[in-house]
Amino acid sequence: MSELSDLYQEVILDHNRRPRNFRPIDDASRTQEGYNPLCGDRLTLYVKLDGRSIVDLSFQGSGCAISKASASLMTEALKGKTVEQARELFDRFHDMVTSSTDVAAPDLGKLSVLSGVREYPTRVKCASLAWHTLKAAVADGTDGPVSTE
């Protein structure tokens, strides 16, 4: 059985208390709402693009520690990346939080602190809300809020 401290690692608690890039971007290229109706987590993601490059990324909203820390860590990880790289990282992140606990979690650098979520199936949606919101934000021709349900 995993320990609670595997889920609530210090990095996650820190990003929950002091979320990075927790601000609006006035001249955002894309703004996307994300909502988890099960627990009421709600966030707005702001993406500033230069061509295919993500030059700035931020979020605002309310949610549990896991969803807030995940959004915060994501904004740090994706700034400076291309849209294609972000999509590729989305897939790898998604694999990490949904992979079997029998195998070692893939190493995603700092994002690996969220691999503990694998042990808590009811919390996977919290960890992936920001990522689903990002995927919708950079998809072409989407509108309307994204929901994890």
Partner 1 sequence: MLTTKNDTAFGHGVPTTGFAHEGTPGASATFDVQRIRADFPILREIVHGKPLVYLDSANTSQKPESVIRAMDDYYRHANANIHRATHLLSERATKLYEGTRANVARFINAPDAKSIVLTTGTTDGINLVAASYGRMVLKPGDEVLLSWLEHHSNIVPWQILCEQAGARLRVAPINDLGEIDIQAYEHLLSDRTRIVAISHVSNALGTINPVRHIVAKAHECGAVVLLDGAQAVPHLVVDVQALDCDFYVFSSHKMFGPTGAGVLYGRKSLLEAMPPYRGGGDMIASVTFEKTAYNQVPYKFEAGTPNIAGVVGMGAAIDYFGSFDRAAAQAHEDDVLAYATERVRAIPGTRIIGEAADKTGVLSFVLDHAHPHDVGTILDREGIAVRTGQHCAQPIMDRYGIAATVRASLAIYNTREDVDALITSLARVREVFG
Stretch that binds partner 1, among 38-46, 85-93, 104-112, 137-145 (CB under 8 A): 38-46
Beta bridge partners of 56: 48
Contact with partner 1 (CB under 8 A) among 126, 130, 134, 146: 126
Work out whether 118 is an interface residue with partner 1 (CB under 8 A): no
Beta carbon nearer to partner 1, 87 or 120: 120
Q: Report d(CA 75, CA 104) in Å as an integer.
A: 25
Beta bridge partners of 48: 56
Work out whether 120 is an interface residue with partner 1 (CB under 8 A): yes
Residue 41 Cβ vs partner 1, minimum distance, rounded to whole Å:
7
Smallest Cα–Cα separation from 103: which of 115, 92, 88, 111? 115
Footprint on residues 41-70 left by partner 1 (CB under 8 A): 41-42, 62-67
Phi, psi of 31 (to 5 degrees): -130, 130
CB 9 within 8 A of CB 120: no
Work out whether 139 is an interface residue with partner 1 (CB under 8 A): no
Provide Rg for the chain, Cα atoms.
14
User: Binding residues for partner 1, per CB under 8 A?
Assistant: 1, 4, 7-8, 13, 37-42, 62-67, 120, 122-123, 126
